Structure 1
Amino acid sequence: MYFLYTVFASLGFFFILKWMKKRRYFTELKRLDGKTVLITGGNSGIGKETAVALAMRGARVVIACRDQNKAEKAVREIKLKSHSLDVLHMELDLASLRSVREFCKNFLQKEKRLDILINNAGMPGILDWTDDGFSLCFGVNHLGHFLLTNLLLPRLKECAPSRVLTLTCSSYKYQKLDFQDLNYNLLPFFTYCRSKLANIYFSQELARTTEGKGVTSCAVHPGFVQSSWTVHYSFLFRMLMQVIMWMFFVSCEIGAQTVIYCAVSDEAAKHSGGYFVDCRPATLRPFARDAGVAKKLWEASERLVKLV
């Protein structure tokens, strides 16, 4: 009898885990021939899976990351999986505003189109700093992408209708912004939460500033994904998180589905400024829909990256 209880309990636990990890798949086969897609951090995880899916639909895909060896390997794998030769890599270090500016200059010289920009690269909350003195998490997740998007915005407008997708996380709900100290580096997890909230405000303000100009913007929560973010932590923490991620997190392929949906779907384009989860619009906490805070963050970010 004890054995039967154990079997039923194990089966029940298994089905609960399977239900918790259940997600929608985006199956629309809309083509992207003639369009150019730029994906930051497209050499691994969600970014790589997104690159494969969009290359399969005929898009020219540019993956931007700082490690050339990893990027070249990823480009070969993306080409193989997507059966597309129109995939390339350009060097970009989002932790350096100088690198962002150089990348944008090179991209605009070499690429005549930009139809979809996917701000995918991200850093977990760790105590480290960018070349410009910002916390690494906030500097990469928000400021690097903020500058990148603004410098590429003229090309996005030229190629309208175009889209900007910014990956965020539901952990935004655990923090609010402190404009006296946007870096907030004492508790790494809260730094991460603030950077993800900043991604949401950025996406909303971008939608407002580009309204009527053919550029749509949305924030995407891909779910909790089995990615490689744990490499920045200790061995014991990595082992613990591997078990937790195996049990509760979804694969990168599944996590990429909402990103692909927002990049391709005509329905998603109707919700500029929206927040998407599991291939559909989702509701944000009231404080994350504050247009005044979004505008204030935009203006503060312009000063920090020296756009004004």
Structure 2
Amino acid sequence: MSILITGGTAGLGYHCSLALARQYPNHRIVIASRSNTNTPSDKINKTLGQTNVEYLRLNLGSLAEVRAFAKTWAEKNYPPIEYLLLNAGLQFPGPLGHTVDGFEQTFGVNHVGHALLFSLLVPHLAHTAHIVITASGTHDPAQKTGMPDAIYSTAEELAHPTGQSLNYAGRQRYTSSKLANILWAYALETRFKELRERKVRDWTVAAFDPGLIPGTGLVRQGSSIELFVWQRVLPKILPLLRLLVSPNIHTPAESGGNLAWLAASDQVKGTSGDYYEGRKKIKSSGVSYQKDKQEDLWMWTVKNIATSPDEIAQFSLKQLS
């Protein structure tokens, strides 16, 4: 079997990859990232005395490159994917920017690229594949994380902002993209449930909040001061932050271990359609349960990542048998 994790070269993704490689020495574990280095995979292999971890380049900000990745995956003839971890994510604090395909860049990377990746890899998923989508508690205004409230009117508005949404702050685009991650996870579960009932596939899905993880590359686009505080100051005062701000603040190793647990633990095996804060199942935001928003995102996504009527039918998951 194979395990694929996006964004696995650093931070929680690296530590998740390490934990899964230790747990599954006979699985082919592929770390996909846009960073041009196989050093993390080599480090894991050396640390564990194994050879089952490798790196493949993946740029989620380009639909063409996502398609090239999927083609490479097929050519390498990897075993079926048992665990698919859609973990990579970026935050752009600055002004509005776009991917090469014209989507707002936060939404484009955090949602659209992952949605296309999943859709193209459907033929390579094991019968009992488990998909985990890394979201964020910042999507939920009730958690009072200090981040701007997520806003979802339509997927089209997130992808191609107009009017007032042109002026949304970069961090608001981030929280909104994380809300989209959860909406899409629930839309997937609607389809997966139908497949399970028909005994076509036994796929399951979960959404994951890793908590605040100072020291990771999430704010790599921030100012020099923000980067210094994030990388140098906050990691040294985690106990104080947990006491004064929130207990949901972790080291990359802690959150990486939690993600590996949610991917492969027997404690969650067979469960689907849930949202986790670390290893605790909780409710996501009220908005995330609105079926009309889940379906708006699903239909928009299928239409905008497919290039033909045949792909629309394929990506809708209606043709599986």
Secondary structure (helix, strand or coil) at the match of 2:157 reads: coil
Percent sequence identity is: 26
Q: Which residue number in structure 2 is paired with residue 63 of structure 1? A: 31
User: Residue 292 of structure 2 aligns to which amino acid in structure 1?
Assistant: G
CA apart distance, 1:245 = 4.5
- Check the 8 A contact 1:257/1:278 in 2, yes or no: no
SS at structure 1 position matched to 2:131: strand
Structure 2: gaps (5+ residues): 141-148, 242-248, 313-321
Measure, in 2, the Cα distance between the counterparts of 1:283 and 1:267: 18
Q: 2:150 aligns with which of 171, 175, 180?
A: 175
2:212 corresponds to which residue? 224
Amino acid at match of 1:265: S
Q: Is residue 189–residue 204 contact of structure 2 (8 Å, CA) maintained in 1? A: yes
Q: Which structure 2 residues correspond to residues 274-289 of structure 1 after superposition, within 5 A?
A: 274-289=274-289
3-state SS of paired residue (1:76): helix
Q: Do the aligned partners of 1:52 and 1:78 also contact (CA within 8 Å) in 2?
A: yes
The CA RMSD over aligned residues, in Å, is 1.6
Q: Which segment is superposed worse, 245-254 or 199-208?
A: 245-254
For structure 1, which runs of at least 5 residues remain unmatched after alignment? Answer: 1-34
Equivalent position amino acid for 1:155 in 2: H
**Residues 1:273 and 2:242 are matched in the alignment:** no
Cα pair 1:117 1:164 within 8 Å, conserved:
yes
Which one of 106, 121, 127 corresponds to residue 72 of structure 2? 106
1:207 Cα deviation after fit: 1.5
The answer to whether the 8 A contact 1:46-1:253 is kept is yes
Q: Deviation per CA, 1:258-286, whole angstroms, max 9, x where unpaired?
A: 21111111232333111011212111222
Q: 69, 73, 85: which is aligned to 1:118?
A: 85
Task: Give the secondary structure class of the aligned counterpart of 2:284.
Answer: coil
**Structure 1 residues 109, 216: CA separation in 2 closer, same or farther (over 3 Å shift)?**
same
Q: Normalized against structure 2, the TM-score is what?
A: 0.80
SS in 2 for 1:165: strand
- 1:217-243 CA-to-partner distances (Å, cap 9, x unmatched) read 110011111212232122112123342
The answer as to whether partners of 1:224 and 1:255 remain within 8 angstroms in 2 is: no
Greater shift, 240-249 or 92-101, is seen at 240-249
Distance in 2 (alpha carbons) for counterparts of 1:94 and 1:237? 25
Q: Secondary structure at the match of 2:124?
A: helix
CA–CA distance in structure 1, aligned partners of residues 34 and 217 of structure 2: 16
Cα distance in 2 between the residues matched to 1:50 and 1:230? 20
**Alignment-derived partner of residue 261 in structure 1:** 261
Q: Does 2:303 correspond to 1:303?
A: yes
Larger radius of gyration: 1
User: 1:125·1:190 contact (CA, 8 Å) conserved in 2?
Assistant: no
Which structure 2 residues correspond to residues 22-37 of structure 1 after superposition, within 5 A? 35-37=1-3
**Structure-1-length-normalised TM-score:** 0.83
Match of 1:244 in 2: 234
Q: Kindly tell me the number of residue pairs found equivalent between the two proteins.
A: 270
Q: Does 1:80 align with 2:56?
A: no
For residue 189 of structure 2, the aligned residue among 202, 207, 215 is 207
The one of 109, 120, 124 aligned to 1:155: 124
1:123, distance to aligned residue in structure 2 (A): 0.4
Amino acid at match of 1:257: G
Cα distance between partner residues in 2 of 1:245 and 1:205:
36
SS of 1:271 mapped into structure 2:
coil
**CA distance in structure 2 between the aligned counterparts of 1:90 and 1:205, rounded to whole angstroms:** 28
